[in-house]
Amino acid sequence: MTGGEPVSESEKLALRESERRYRRFFEEDISGDFLATPGGSILECNPAYARMLGFDSVAEARSCPLQALHPEPGEQERLVELLRRERKLLGIGAELRRRDGTPLHVIMNVVGIFDARDELVEIQGYLVDVTQHKQVEEQLRHSQKMEAVGRLAGGIAHDFNNFLTVIQGNVEMALADLPASAPLREDLEEIKSASGRAAALVRQLLTFSRRNAAQPKVVLDLRGEIANLDKMLRRLIGEHIELVTRCEPGLGHVRADAGQIEQVIVNLVVNARDAMPDGGRLVIEACNRTLAEAEVRYANHLRPGRYVEIRITDSGCGMDEETLSRIFEPFFTTKEKGKGTGLGLPTAYGIIKQSGGYLWAESAPGRGSTFRIYLPIVEGSASSAQVGAASGAAHPGSETILVVEDEDAVRSLARRALERSGYHVLDASDGGEAMRISEDHEGTIHLLLTDLTLCKLNGRELAQRAAALRPGMKVLYTSGYADEMAASDNAARPPAFLQKPFTPEQLTTRVREVLSRSLLTP
């Protein structure tokens, strides 16, 4: 077509069809497309742009200047200056703000339209929403950080378990040698108590790093457990919060690990405290409940029957439906950055579920929150193990035991504890020395007591080589980590294991158990 010639009808139709196709492409494009002035006014945008930024309509989106989308003042002006120099910006990452103020992460392509005088007159932009991708990346980084912190915590806990084994063991033997009236007993009892609390802290570190031994579930009296926690919980929440505990007489017994149930209750109480920064009321109630078929439909693994229900209710700020629906998701937290891991409630949920129960939450904004724990009632008396008192009974023997431990103080303690109980003890600081003793010793070695983490030759390899020389020798492993045992154990019958820190009483008890049972293949 040359200048001055009229446009034919076919050319007009082709032009209209081209415009229609472009308009359809523009309207249906999944990226957020816009045309704007250098000053930031939106001349045109598509529905995807409006939806992406949280506007109800294209008209509403056009009324919002580009400057209002940036969280930092002057960011749009800096972008325009860069566009004037570069003329085209491709694959630029940016964080914008939606209409409701929530962050929107985008990858954008921006093209400048220049006039004959090379002045920027219009901006064409294309936005791709990568917010979900960014969240996944952040969760991955968080997960990797938690894994690294977990490994660090596990390593620290392993070292402390060795120290605590020595402290607790020597204190226990010193107490056994002192008469009841000795003035020094009170000081030693304080050391024993403090080391016990330190051991509990180490167990928490190992639980966090997933390296704690699986604790046997015993029959618990929850009424007694809650009563024992009362004083500690009052210190935990502070004087500005009123704590009320009510336990039904004749409360049923449940089968669970006492330490884990304590962890769940403490976690829920801490969350309740954080929801009441200006004070309030916290009520812990426990009662027997019989759940019918209709009441257990929301939990697939629950069955109709008799349960103990623990209700923890606070008068705090409460939660909206969206928050309530996500509280048991790993890494979800409403606390400030750095104030919470987002693992507390998921861990609590997992503990209760593993105990055959269920954890349920109810809440509304301004009406506080209630967490309900259901644990199945079992028959039988509460285990005396939860009281925590050592029997003090001796576990004597006369067998020969080869102790292999690279920590001198732990090895010395084990030797002394076993010799006090009548055993003949050989000891070695590493696997090589242990093999030489095994080869040279003329008599029977009844038991190999070895740490798993030895230099050069680890405990499991040592046990396998020693078994070739002495097929009748039994094996007892020790470690500050529990997962070292589980990671490589595929046997139907797990090897005998004693987790650090252990006391002389626990050591001699476990040794006697292993020596008294049938042959164990390492």
510 in the same domain as 446: yes
Structural domain for 444, as ranges: 392-516
What is the three-class DSSP state of 490? Answer: coil
Instruction: Let me know if residue 2 belongs to a domain.
Output: no
Look at strands 305-314 and 369-378 and give their pairing. antiparallel
- Binned average pLDDT, 10 residues per bin, the chain of 522 residues: 60 64 71 93 93 93 94 91 94 91 92 94 93 73 59 72 86 87 87 80 59 62 89 88 93 88 90 92 95 69 88 93 79 63 72 83 90 90 46 68 93 92 94 93 94 86 92 90 52 70 90 76 42
Distance CA(85)–CA(80), nearest Å, equals 9
* Amino acid 521: pLDDT: 41
**Which pLDDT score is estimated for 153?**
65
* Total tally of structural domains belonging to the chain: 4
pLDDT of residue 391: 38
| Torsional sign, CA 254, 260, 261, 264 | negative
Rg (CA), the chain: 34
Paired tokens of 386:
């939860």
Indicate if 241 and 300 belong to the same structural domain: yes
Question: Is residue 213 domain-resident?
Answer: no
The pLDDT of residue 492: 39
Backbone torsion region of residue 317, taken as left when φ is above 0, otherwise alpha when ψ lies between -120 and 50, otherwise beta:
alpha
User: How far from the centroid of its chain's Cα atoms is residue 60's Cα?
Assistant: 44
DSSP sequence for 220-270: EEHHHHHHHHHHHHHHHH-TTEEEEEEE-TTPPEEEE-HHHHHHHHHHHHH
The residue among 386, 416, 434 that closes a domain is 386
Q: What is the pLDDT of residue 360?
A: 85
Check whether residue 376 and residue 229 sit in a common domain: yes
pLDDT at residue 85, rounded to an integer: 94
Amino acid 214: pLDDT: 47
In whole angstroms, give the CA distance from residue 358 to residue 329.
15
Residues 442 and 313 in one domain: no
| CB distance 411 to 430 below 8 Å | no
Task: Report the CATH number that the domain containing residue 84 is assigned in CATH.
Answer: 3.30.450.20
If asked whether residues 194 and 249 sit together in one domain, one would say no
Closest CA to 243 of 324, 168, 312, 153: 312
Q: What is the pTM of this model?
A: 0.49
What does the pLDDT read at residue 3?
52
Claim to verify: residue 234 and residue 284 sit in the same structural domain? yes
Measured from the Cβ of residue 150, the count of other Cβ atoms closer than 10 Å reads 16
